Structure 1
Amino acid sequence: MPKTFKVQQCLNSNFVTSLKFKWYTTGSISQILSSNSPETCLAYLTNLEKRGDPQMDSRLLTKLIDCYAQVFSCLPLAKHSQNESYARMLVRFAELKAVQDPDDAQDRFILARSSCKCFAFVHIAHAQFELSQGNASKCALILQKAFGANAKPTELVETALQNLKLGKTHLLPLEDRKNIAGQSCLRAEQPEFTVLLLEYRYVPYDLHTSYTDNKIICVFQGSVAAFSNDSITIKGRQFFILKMIGRGGSSKVYQVLDHRKQLFAVKYVNLEEADSQTIESYKNEIEHLNHLQQYSDQIIKLYDYEITNSYIYMLMECGNLDLNTWLRNHKGVNPLERKFYWKNMLEAVHTIHKHGIVHSDLKPANFVIVNASLKLIDFGIANRIQPDVTSIVKDSQVGTLNYMPPEAIKDTSSKAGKPSSKISPKGDVWSLGCILYCMTYGKTPFQSITNQIAKLHAITDPSHQIDFPDIPEKDLLDVLKRCLVRNPKERISIAELLAHPYLQLQPHTVPEPVQPVNNELQRILNDLAALQSPNSIARAASVSTTFSSSVNIQGVIKKYSECTCRHKG
């Protein structure tokens, strides 16, 4: 983006405000906390979230949640509960928690409402969350209580209640929802001349009458610069952008089309905005994908890539949607689909384990559906295990809590007090078991525990019994119980899971049509039933050839004879 500021603009007092604001939004979290200002903290956190989409980028989500937790530990609730910026942080923290654990988010929303009753947006945010969970009656109750708490502005609550009665999925119009998300403080602090960024499909080129397709218009104090956003070139090969299908951190994923009209996905990583650890994770992902794709169809295909000092392009197979989204859209999972997807997951993880790689962060979002088959993606934090060892020790906790194995929880008794976690291929088995549990019961094993500390204790505590409600598929129940064993040495392996009876498809036998039986045959069968005599059976055998064209009487007599002999014995 070109910089067109003039000297007099830089000397303008408003620009000094901009520089100060820039420092607050790009400094470290410790610098932000030293300000003891909810406004400064909110500005920093909102700017941090602009780097990507927390719903699609687990690393960004984890970082945001950690930063919010640090803010709340330094800024006491009792002192700042009546501060609007603080209330907005409480709301946004609850919304981010909802991505990770809806049950925990419930508690966060309740805390925000009980502590910041005077702000209408706090009540509406909680009501919106309940509506998204399908609890319309609870949503209405929260809005009614907002009137009782005299939350301001009242008009905002009235609008939300009216939209609920109309059956709308969003309680507020878009412009009001942005305010709830806590963006207003940023807009107020930005100087007018700094930048105006328009990102629409069709936008005015000169801000008057002319239009252009697929442009991003940047306005700096009246000067305009247009950038084409309709194609990407990778190693001389051009791809036309159809749409952006994902973003996270410093990366964006586009659905593209080549000149042969073939669909691909292109992951674009802006290295100028990424730290060294993030850059290393992307290079790690390329290395793993490049190596593994030749060994399994359940690993997402990496067709090509290009790395420079400024960016990374990864040309990949284009999937339909990730397993996490698929599960959210399906209230119940078809048993055959579950079994099919389970086998896909096992085959993918079996491949990486055979090549000495532990994923460490398996969850539904790490699997994407491609042509009705599940494929493994995202190797950013995966690690290689050397041939002569069985596990590795990481100096930080990794993974997503609801899918994290007990052995990966931080060991605070490590040497020199430095937290570490031990991971092995059996850790991936636990995570897969949690995914299968979710596909079976609609939630993860520890999802109902809302307190994070209590959840950590439950995962690691052998005395805490995991609930396994009874299901018709006993083989599936056995798989779940053997995956979710806390001792990794006793936990089932991927190879054993692939050979487990649960994956053996039982052929559906179609009963043979019953042939009409003539009167003479019916009489003989009746005699057999009445007499239960071996002599009767012999007589029936002597005439069975007469009826061989209608039924297999020999087989019937043989089975009946066997049953009679067993009965007499």
Structure 2
Amino acid sequence: MQTTPLSPEDPAELGGFELLGRIGQGGMGQVYLGESPGGEPAAVKVIKASVVDSEARLRFAQEIEVLKTIWGPRIAAFLDADPEAERPWLATEYVDGPDLRRHITTHGPLPAVLVASLGATLAEALAAVHKQDLVHRDLKPANILLGPNGPKIIDFGLAVFSEAGVTLTAPNTVMGTPTCMAPEQASGVKPLSSPVDVYALGAVLLYAATGHYPYEAANIHVLFNMIIQSGNEPDLSGVPDELVPLLTSMLAHSAGDRPTMPEVVQRCRAVIEAQGLKVAQARRRLTTHTAPGPSVPSAELPTQPLPQSAAEVPAPTLPITQLLPRPVDAPPPALTPTLRADIAPREPAARTARTAKRPAPAPRRHSVQARKVAQQLREAYAQSAKF
């Protein structure tokens, strides 16, 4: 995963974690690459001072409690947090790899058997989440990191207990990422339950297989209406034949028509085994295909900020009244940067296969050396800044 240098305004340390660089940023916070006193790398998320209020703290505290509740090899592990700090922060396992959206944009769609392997892996992880009566509620390609040990799910900031009677959002509001949002979620139905994540995973697998989402539109109101209307079939163009039945069922308009996560696992296994592979073999192929190259040495870190798709961006909140059809002559509403990132027309993905042998991973720098390089970067950044 690429990292940019710290700016003079960035803290050098939080909760004992030394901050070495920026991983990404969003509307509510900044994510840093950190290192524990023992040398353990971490992704440290910090809420921006400009948005720290009681509601932001409460939602952040909920995310922390959710991460304390769930665990597994496909969930980025909780390390430490302080929701009561002046600037609330959360440290989780650092996954050294791109998110799924960036990988597909750069390298093109995955082969069908690898999509099935990705589906089996993520569905098994989400089945464990659902056993805890939790719903992720914002699964999307940007929230799936492709690390050297396989994919991992991040950002449980919108996760809710499926039977909870208390919500942190106002009545008649919708939270989530529109391009991966189930119809009942887009309609404001509460409480939400596990079929919401089944639909979102179907949208993720569709994107992995084709590079596009079930519904796409240049206007957010049009997009929501396409999702909500039961007569609109999702766009499955470009889906390999062996995946069409699975994605059709996962993207069913009615929640009751979707399979459960364990059923998704079994159906993905069937696709893999029909290709003459075992599930473990397919998973190894997936990791080999998506594993990142050697980490960029600290001295060669880029100086430009990452695209928004790489950051942990909080999902938008929209009143249901704003999602209703508008008069024909009414001007379209202004879209927020978050929405633009999720519904902007996609660029053609590169479809050339990577044939060059991957160089051996560079050895990880010693903690003392990393601190020296980070200090040099901070000083160089401060000298070149225009303020």
1:269 aligns with 2:77: no
1:301 to 77, 82, 85: 77
Q: Deviations over 1:216-262 (max 9, x none)?
A: 2xxxxxxxxxx7x673142xx4x332211112234221112345443
1:328 to 105, 124, 146: 105
Once the 2 structures are TM-superposed, how far is the Cα of residue 485 of structure 1 from its aligned partner? 0.9
Retained in 1: the 8 A contact 2:162–2:194? no
Once the 2 structures are TM-superposed, how far is the Cα of residue 494 of structure 1 from its aligned partner? 1.0
How many residues are paired up? Answer: 269
SS across alignment from 2:174: coil
Which has the greater radius of gyration? 1
2:227 to 431, 446, 459: 459
Change (3 A) 1:468 1:305: closer
1:351 aligns with 2:104: no
Partner Cα distance (1:253, 1:232) in 2: 13
2:157 to 380, 383, 387: 380
Partner Cα distance (2:271, 2:25) in 1: 37
Q: Gaps (5+ residues) in structure 1?
A: 1-199, 202-213, 217-226, 412-419, 510-569
Change (3 A) 1:286 1:271: farther
Q: Deviations over 1:112-167 (max 9, x none)?
A: xxxxxxxxxxxxxxxxxxxxxxxxxxxxxxxxxxxxxxxxxxxxxxxxxxxxxxxx
1:312 aligns with 2:88: yes
Q: Deviations over 1:358-389 (max 9, x none)?
A: 1222111122223242111111121102399x
Retained in 2: the 8 A contact 1:255–1:318? yes
Higher relative contact order (CA 8 A, sep 6+): 2
SS across alignment from 2:13: strand
Partner of 1:405: 182
Q: Deviations over 1:438-485 (max 9, x none)?
A: 1122201211x43443333322223223343475542x1111111111
Retained in 2: the 8 A contact 1:396–1:410? no
Q: Deviations over 1:35-82 (max 9, x none)?
A: xxxxxxxxxxxxxxxxxxxxxxxxxxxxxxxxxxxxxxxxxxxxxxxx
SS across alignment from 2:22: strand
Partner Cα distance (2:24, 2:198) in 1: 28
Partner of 2:68: 290
Retained in 2: the 8 A contact 1:393–1:423? no
Partner Cα distance (2:118, 2:142) in 1: 14
Once the 2 structures are TM-superposed, how far is the Cα of residue 431 of structure 1 from its aligned partner? 1.2
TM-score, normalised on structure 2?
0.62
Higher helix content, 1 or 2 = 1
Partner of 2:202: 433
Partner Cα distance (1:382, 1:394) in 2: 17
Change (3 A) 1:505 1:371: farther
Change (3 A) 1:311 1:496: same
Change (3 A) 1:314 1:508: closer
1:424 to 193, 204, 218: 193
Partner Cα distance (1:355, 1:269) in 2: 27
Once the 2 structures are TM-superposed, how far is the Cα of residue 394 of structure 1 from its aligned partner? 6.3
SS across alignment from 2:119: helix
1:231 to 6, 12, 33: 12
Partner Cα distance (1:215, 1:460) in 2: 43
Q: Gaps (5+ residues) in structure 2?
A: 279-387
Q: Deviations over 1:155-211 (max 9, x none)?
A: xxxxxxxxxxxxxxxxxxxxxxxxxxxxxxxxxxxxxxxxxxxxx97xxxxxxxxxx
Q: What pairs up with 1:168-567 in 2 under 5 angstroms?
A: 216=8, 231-234=12-15, 237=16, 239-270=17-48, 273-293=51-71, 296-319=72-95, 320-386=97-163, 395-410=172-187, 421=190, 423-447=192-216, 449-469=217-237, 472-474=240-242, 476-500=243-267, 501-504=270-273, 506-507=275-276
Identity of aligned residues (%): 24
Q: Deviations over 1:508-545 (max 9, x none)?
A: 59xxxxxxxxxxxxxxxxxxxxxxxxxxxxxxxxxxxx
